[in-house]
Each structure stands twice: as structure tokens, then as C-alpha cells.
Structure 1
Amino acid sequence: MSSDPKNGAHLLVRNLEAQGVEYIFGIPGAKIDPVFDALVDSKIKLVVCRHEQNATFIAGGLGRLTGKAGVVLVTSGPGVSNLATGLATANTEGDPVVALGGAVPIADRLKQAHQSMDTVALLRPVTKYAAEIDSPSAISEATAAAFRAAESGRPGTAFLGLPKDVMKAPAPGPVLTPATVPRLGAANTEAIAEAARLIDAAERPVVLLGMLASQGPVAEAVRLLLARTRLAVAGTYQAAGVVPRDRLDCFGGRVGLFHNQPADRLLDEADLVITIGFDPVEYDPSLWNAGRQRKLIHIDCIPADYDQCYRPDIELMGDSAATVRALSVLLKAKDRPAQSALLAEIHRERTTVAAEAAKRTGAPVHPLRLVHELQKLIDEDVALCSDMGSFHIWMARHLISHRPRQIMISNGQQTLGVALPWGIAACLAEPGRKVISVSGDGGFLFSAVELETAVRLKCNFVHIVWIDGSYNMVGIQQVAAYGRDSAVHFGPVDLVKFAESMGAQGLMIKDADAIESTLRKAMAMEGPVLVGVHVDYRDNPGLMAAMHEDVII
């Protein structure tokens, strides 16, 4: 027997439908069953996951790729507490997510009742908006507020607690979604003109692209800016893909984590830096701007996160795409020979590294050879989702992309386990596109259970596991600090058998010369395919080598 079609759960679902929600990811339970029951009669596709954290990762990935908040639905108690890592990750990555969690009846919430928990207090630090709906008349209002918070400004997460008695109670109220986000205009005209004057007067200006520069309209505006001015540009890991192929001569590369990249040389020599959509969590300003006597221009939809090393002279706050377009019109194309020479040197180095990578043979496989082979696939417009680990730094530094958000990289919380769930999200967001996700063997098992979910959804992706038997990124930092590692080694997993046990297919890359043929074979297979490769990480300590003695790692 279905529930009352005019109860709180059905009103919530009608709001979600009106908001345009296509998928909900989650795990059921007694305290949230009224909502799961209401979804049976809905056009929304319900995807049952194997862990709430992974469900949130999938929702976050979908949010990043579509710009619309991904939705996760879980039960009370540990169901909600398991959301915390996923919500923290999405919030610091700028990925819109609305999380819905079951709760005990209102009369029980102050008691030591089964699964009673102050979930709003628990999740408030990792969300932009968190509330418990304590009345049927507040359902539509709270739902609209949650979506507006998740999708506005710098996107992030919102949480709604749903007491079971409120979801079962009569709720004849109106639907208030879709809750549209107001469009901002460009920044102040006089401030834009002053910014243009500073840029034109600078000898070595550099554009630093951040995570929100990869949003579609902003990326288009940035490309127009680069076409008109040919300004030198660097990007954080999350800004991958914004710089088009025909402006690679202006691109110094990516920066993040450690101050030792070619683009850091570009930033070090800059007498003015223009940040677009940049959040300090992407690349700590103390690593690239400490003690610098130069001008800073901050372009974003929210104010700068002000600190000792990041105090913009001009903040252009408003719609970033409109602001960048207005700025582009005022700027003059200008030759900057010294900067052009450095960019040419960086381009030669990039070409040399690629040529050397192609020559790396044998087994275990060197990371650069793997990046070289992945580059061929990325150039075919394949989406790539990266987990966190040493391999992620190799890819972030050397894998070039020319489509915004073609490569999904985490650098906020640096959370292990995101890649496979993000791969599922990418398959759902763009069903016709082939997807590759990559993890280390350390992070793989954090979310590997969702391979069954991917099989059930018939997701057409290839997940590659770089194998070395350790939490290597932690280990190299321990060795650098203490001369030895601690608690970073673990045992092997038979990836082929693991894949088969989940209903997927598994392959192993035997040596460097088999990478391309094995990956091509995997890409031609239907459904999820797991590919393992043993990697040679002997050069990993160089990933952390500081370019300057005063850089603190």
C-alpha cells in the first residue's frame, strides 16, 4: 500500500521534481522510508549505492559536471554521519550537493532514542546551509533554500534533516521550486577600468585560473580574454582544461601543493597576478605570494578570503564571466619579450618531457609513460576522473586538457576514494562519452564497492589502478621529514578477480609497451572495466622537491 499522496514525503518529492532533479543517490532505512516510498511514483531515478559517503561523491561529481545540485538521500544516525566526508569534499571543491537525511520523530530528538543525533550541528561545518524541517508547512521553503544555497555564489553543499513524523504528516502546501539563483551583473565599472589600467601598465602580468574559472560561461570568457590579449596564464589543478589548444604558447602549466613547477617560475616573476575563480584551498598563497610586493586583482562571485599573503588591491566581485568580458574589451594586446621567452622555455621543457616519457619502457611502469599514453586518450575527448595520491600529482602536472572539466581532480580535502564514484557521475552526466577514472591501490578500496553500482547502472567506464602496495604520497613525505616511513604499506588485491566478483571485467597491464593496447582493449569493452598496472615510483621524491629553500612543505 502506498503512502498518503499529500503527506510531507510526497510534497518533498514534488519539490525535487520541480527543481529538475533527475537522479537521487542513497541508501534506505526505517526513518526515511516515507520518502523512498514516495519516490516509487516519481519520474526521478533512484540509484541505490553501497555506502553513503560514495553516494555523496557521486552526487558531487554530477553537480560539478552539470552545474545543478546532485541529491543524496540517506537514513538517520550513521546514515547521516556517513555523509560528512562527502559533503566536506564537495563543499571545498565548489560542487553543488543537496543532502537529505532521515531523523527520529520530533518528540524523540532530545531523548537517547534509537539513531537520535543532532545531525544539523554535525554537518553545519561542512555545508553552506543546514536545517531540520520541523513542520510540514516548512518543507517547500527549506527545500528551496537548500538548492539556492548549494547552487549560488561559490557552489557547495546543503543538508536537510527530515523527521519521520513530518514526512508522514499531511502536507497540502504549495511547491516553491524551482528555486532559481539570481544572476549577478559584472563588477563595478570603475573598478574594472582601474584593473585594466594596472594590467596594461604591468610588465609581467599573469592570470591565475582557479576552480570556478572552469565553469562553462567563465571558461568561455577567459578564452576570449586570452585570444584578445595573449596574457600569460597558469592554472590550479581544478582549472584544468580552460586554456584552449591554440593558446598553449601562453600557458605556463598547473600549480598546486608544492612550489616547484614551471608555472611557479612564471608566478615568481610576475609583477601583477589576476586570479579568476580562485580559492586559497587550491594553492596556499603562502607558497606563491608570501612577501611579494606586487599588485593582486581578484575576480570572483564572492569576496576574497583575505589573509596575510592574499590581500587583493582590486576585487572585481560579480558575475565572473561578465566581468572578464568587460575587462577584455579594455585591455590592449602587448608584447612582453622576457615573459614570452620564459613561456617558450616552459613549452620546450613540456615537449622534452613528453618525448622522454614515450621512451620509458619495462616493468613496473614509470608514471610519465602512463601519462603519455593517457594523453592520447584524453586528446580523443575522453573524460577523466582522478583520485588522490602520488599518481594524481603526475597527472595534474603533465596531462594536458583543452575542455573545461574534462579532467576532474580533487585538491580541497584531497579525499581518497572519489575517482570511481566520480566516474559513475560522469557516465550519468554524459551517457555517450567514454570515461576513465584513476586511483592508486591505496585509495581504490575506499570506494571499490561501488563497482557493483556501476555494473548495475551499465556505466561504460574504465577504472585504472596504479599499484605499488602503499600509501605512497604519505610515505614520501614521511621519508622527507623523518628519514623513514610509517604505517603506509599493505597487502595486494587481485584486481581481475575483484572485478569479476562484482560482475565487471578485469585486465592487467604487464609492461610499458602493453599500456596502449590494453587500454584500447578496455575502452572497447562494454560496461565497467578494471585495469591494474604496477608502477615504478622511484622518482616520486622529486615531486616534492622545493624550488626555493624558503618554501615550507
Structure 2
Amino acid sequence: MLTVSEIIADTLVKAGAKRCYGIVGDTINHFTSAVRHSKLEWIHVRHEEVGAFAAGGESYLSGELSVCAGTTGPGSLHFINGIFESHRNGAPVLLIASNIDRSEQGLGYPQEVDQKKLYEQCSVFCEPIAHPDQARRIVSQAAQAALNHRGVAVVVVNGDMFKIKSKDSIPWSVHRPRWLTRPEDAALDALADKLNRAKNITIYGGIGCRFAHDAVVELGQQLAAPIVHTTRAKEFLDYDNPCNVGMNGLIGNPAGYRAVMTCDLLLCLGSDFAYTQFYPEKATIIQVDIEASHLGRRTAVDMGLVGDINTTVSALLPRLKPRSDKTFLDSLRARYSSDLKQLQKRGNEPDPSLIHPQFVAQTLDKLAGEDAAFTADGGSPMVWMLRHLHANGKRSFLTSLSHGTMANAYPQALGMAKAYPGRQVIALCGDGGLTMLMGDLLTLVQEKIPVKLLVFNNHSLGFVEMEQRIEGMLDSYTELKNPDFDRLAEVCGFWGEKVDKAGNLSEAMQRWLAAEGPALLDVTVNRMELVMPPSIKAQQVSSTALFGLKAILSGRGDEVVDLLKDNFLR
């Protein structure tokens, strides 16, 4: 007979898991011993939150199951932010959340935590193993839920349960069926009729277009419709797309914003974009999504259809009449071309006295590998990645868009690099994000993980500073006293270099990318850098002016001059 620990490890391996991230000790010692004797690789992180981020990064990129495990109470609790992130970005992760021994449960024993109450709000499956003979069945169901629903599954195991033996007589296994889902023919006919009669159509593609690039592009060409993509869909719709006009939303571009706001019919494909102010008020809106619960939850829709985007669009195309009038598409493509030139101009204007973060991102875009995988911290590094790094069908992009956490970049990159050891994996880090989980820089060395860390060092919580200024407030409590990150990297045992002049950036970046193992490039970037939205509201202008007045009255007038010069007067 096998112990529950051995059964769990065996079931995970058979489900396709290759790694388990966590910290050993206490209630999971028997489980980690079983992992040691299995084909699972244990990745020893320094903080459990990093383990959850790393597992999510691996699973998001690979589509395969990854695992993390923690001890009872504090150990399992440390996973929770990374678990929320992994669940919200659709990464199939399985968490083994241990608990105290059953004999002490319910008696206020030290470190007792109700794991199910905590994790059922951020998982597609969350159940305890109540009996040893349930072990394979529960873990199989958890893995199956994570893989098929693309989310986190949690299995709660009491410490004493891990070492109990089981008959394990029924061969429960994990099933990964494939299926096609599309609307019924009558619904597709009705959709085609609306599209054939509409004048100016815009397609708004989201993460649901992940496997539908060719079909969506063909649809755009047939309808002469501009294609706008959400931030999460950049990787899948931005390249080889003659209808592409960029992104909508706060960090979008004017062409993408106008395409959505000025169309007569907006066709949302696999998009669950959350911000209602970026949807049109008067257009007909039609939404297609694989999840019926997503229909109409962001904006009122005139027609909602359930279906996989690739299957649905493929069935829709023969029903459509090709359009010859491309006036709407051409005007927005021209505007998008202008948008790109403006972005490129900012990056091509190095200032000898400072380094613009756009210049850093565009230099990276030129030097990074054709199939590089990028992560970015929430905040301004996310903006520079999404606006200035080009998708080409081979590159991958991951940042915290649905959860909006800090400190996600290099922990997610850690897992991505483990999943794809031959690929160049680059983390765009804010100085605030990097220092929040700085301890796991040691994991990069200990586990020999060759992640490249690019630090946008502006000595501030830059995105928060921007938020405060746009609200007309003086920025408060955003100052960061940072170490010399290049020296810190060397003390931790890997390559580090600092750049504070634009003219030195390209050569330093080439050395950084060529360095063996993990490497860190610390770049001092302009602090007074606003992230401009695609449409400037009068309130935003007046609020920024109010910040300027307050800054002058408080003796910070030089900052106002820099802000105006760098963001409005160019």
C-alpha cells in the first residue's frame, strides 16, 4: 500500500505536473519526502508568494499543470496573493494546502486555519481529503478542474493524513477532453445579418482569441473592420494583422480608443475588459464568449452568444458578405500609424541628462530574442512592455492585468524559465516591485534559473505618484530609498550592472543579455514620466494643473517644469 503523500505525488506526475514550488517543513515533510522519490522537481523558494507566482507563470505559458505546497497556517497563507493572481489570469495551478492534525482540529490549536474558506473564493476546486482512500480521487478531480477550467485548484490535507496508507484500489485518473463549442445555426445567421447590415464595425478581441489569430484576422479583412485588442490579447492579435489598430483602455492608443468609441457596431470576441468607460454609449454591441456568465457583465449588450472564438468565427465567415468600402478601416489604420510614430519618437530621443523609460523598453525590443518571454511588474513597467515591445507570434507576454498586484514580474519569470529552459526570459521590474519580494533573488542562484531582470529605477512608486498627481494631489509616501541593485546582485552571486546615461544603455544591455545565468541591469530612469491615456479629459488636465500649483506653492516648481517639458510640450 502507498501513503497518501505517495499517492498525491504519483497522481500529480500522471496529470502532467513537472514541478512543485514551496518551502519544506512541519506538516508537509512527509509530502516533500514523497516528492523527492517521484519525478516531480521541488523548487525551493524563499517566500511562498513567489512560489505561487512562479507556478502561475509556468502554467500560464505552458498550459500544463504546476504545483505549489505549503505548511499549515502561515505557510499556506503566504501563497494567497500569488494564488489569486494565478487564478485570475487563467493558469492551471494546484495548491497542496496543509492543515494541522485532525485530532487537534477545531480546538484553537496553534496555526490552525480554515483553508477551504480562504481558498474557495480564488479557485475552481477546493476540497479536503477526508479519508485516505479519497486521495487519488480528490487530487485527480482537482487537477482535472484546474486544467479544463484554467484556474487554481486547492487540495487541503491534514498533516497526519499525509503518512497514512491507503488501499488505493480504484484507478482514478485525470481527463482532458477536447470539444468544440459554437452558437446554434439560427444565432449565427442572426449575427451575420446584423454584421452584413452594419456600417462601421469594430472588432474588440480579448484573451479568448488566444488560439484564433488567423480566424479573427480573416474576419476583420472580410468586414473591413479595425481590430482592437485588450492588453491581455496583445500577444495573440498584434502581429501579422493588417486590421490591427492597437489597444483600448487607460494605456491604449488613440486609434484603438477611437475605433471602439466611433463604430456603429462593436463585436466583442472573448473580451471581458472590465472598464465600462471604455465602451461606446450608442453603438450596437454584440459579445461572443466561451463563458455565458461573462455576457453583458461589463456593458449592456444587444446580443450575447456562447462559443469558442476560433470555432464560432470559422462558422460565421461563410455567412458574411465581403466589403469593398474600407474608409473606416483605412482612416483608423492611418491614425494607428501616427500613434506608432509618436511612441517611437519618444524612445528615439535620448536625453544626455536622463533616461526615458520608453527608450529603455524600445532598446530592449531591438535586442531581445525573437522568441523571448517577457513579464512586467504592475505599474509603469507594465505600460512600457505593452506599448513598446512588439509581438511577433513567437514572443510571450505576462503581467498582472486582472489582479493588479505588485512584485509579480521576476517571480513569474522564474516559473517561465523553468518551463522553457532554452528561451530567453526577461522580467521588467519596478524598483518597488523588486524590493517587495527581494529575498527570492537567492532562488535564482540556488536553483540556477537564468532570468534576466531589468530594473526601471526611478526611486519611487511611479504609477501611484502619477495617480496622485492626476487627482490634483501632491504625491505622498511614494519615495523609495533603494540599494545599489547591481551590487546587490553581485552579493547574491550573479551578474549586475548599473546604467545612468542613455549613451551607455545599448552596450550594457547587450552584456546583460549575454551573461550566463541570472543577470540584473539597473537603469536609472526619469521619475517625472506620465503614462498618458489615449483620450485626455478636461478633469485630468485641470487636476494636473492643480498639482502644478500646489507643487509651486510648496517649493517644488522645478518638478512642474520637468513634468510639462517631458509630457506636454514635446
- TM-score, normalization by structure 2: 0.89
- Shift in alpha-carbon separation, 1:110–1:261, aligned structure 2, 3 A: farther
Say if 2:326 is the partner of 1:326. no
Deviation of the 1:305 alpha carbon: 3.0
Match of 1:440 among 420, 425, 430: 430
SS of equivalent to 1:101: strand
Question: How far apart are the structure 1 equivalents of 2:483 and 2:217?
Answer: 44
Say if 2:378 is the partner of 1:388. yes
Question: How far apart are the structure 1 equivalents of 2:423 and 2:4?
Answer: 38
Say if 2:118 is the partner of 1:122. yes
Say if 2:88 is the partner of 1:92. yes
SS of equivalent to 2:292: coil
How do 1:155-304 residues align onto structure 2 when only pairs under 5 Å count?
A: 155-173=150-168, 174-214=170-210, 217-226=211-220, 229=223, 231-243=225-237, 245-247=239-241, 249-257=242-250, 261-281=254-274, 284=275, 286-289=276-279, 292-304=281-293
Question: How far apart are the structure 2 equivalents of 1:476 and 1:352?
Answer: 21
Question: How far apart are the structure 2 equivalents of 1:382 and 1:221?
Answer: 25
- Shift in alpha-carbon separation, 1:229–1:537, aligned structure 2, 3 A: farther
How do 1:372-387 residues align onto structure 2 when only pairs under 5 Å count?
A: 372-378=362-368, 380-387=370-377
1:114 partner letter: P
2:228 partner letter: A
Moved more, 311-320 or 92-101: 311-320
Deviation of the 1:487 alpha carbon: 1.4
Deviation of the 1:330 alpha carbon: 2.8
1:512 partner letter: A
Question: How far apart are the structure 2 equivalents of 1:451 and 1:213?
Answer: 35
Contact 1:300 1:320 (C-alpha < 8 Å) held by counterparts: yes
Question: How far apart are the structure 2 equivalents of 1:368 and 1:239?
Answer: 21
Aligned length: 540
Q: Which residue of 2 aligns with 1:413?
A: 403
Q: String of CA shifts for 1:192-214, please: whole Å, max 9, x gaps.
A: 22222222222221221222323
Question: How far apart are the structure 1 equivalents of 2:298 and 2:229?
Answer: 18
Contact 1:259 1:547 (C-alpha < 8 Å) held by counterparts: no
Question: How far apart are the structure 2 equivalents of 1:184 and 1:346?
Answer: 35
1:490 partner letter: L
Q: Which residue of 1 aligns with 2:559?
A: none
Q: Which residue of 2 aligns with 1:48?
A: 44
Match of 1:28 among 15, 18, 24: 24
- Shift in alpha-carbon separation, 1:369–1:301, aligned structure 2, 3 A: same
Query: RMSD across aligned C-alpha pairs, in angstroms?
Result: 2.4
Q: Which residue of 2 aligns with 1:398?
A: 388
Match of 2:511 among 507, 516, 521: 521
Contact 2:370 2:394 (C-alpha < 8 Å) held by counterparts: no
Percent identity of equivalent pairs: 24
How do 1:105-120 residues align onto structure 2 when only pairs under 5 Å count?
A: 105-120=101-116
- Structure 1: 5+ residue stretches without partners: none
- Shift in alpha-carbon separation, 1:456–1:225, aligned structure 2, 3 A: farther
- Shift in alpha-carbon separation, 1:13–1:428, aligned structure 2, 3 A: same
Question: How far apart are the structure 2 equivalents of 1:76 and 1:91?
Answer: 21
1:500 partner letter: E
- TM-score, normalization by structure 1: 0.92
Question: How far apart are the structure 1 equivalents of 2:303 and 2:296?
Answer: 15
- Structure 2: 5+ residue stretches without partners: 544-570
Q: String of CA shifts for 1:514-549, please: whole Å, max 9, x gaps.
A: 222111111111100011011113231x52585345
SS of equivalent to 1:241: helix
Deviation of the 1:42 alpha carbon: 0.3
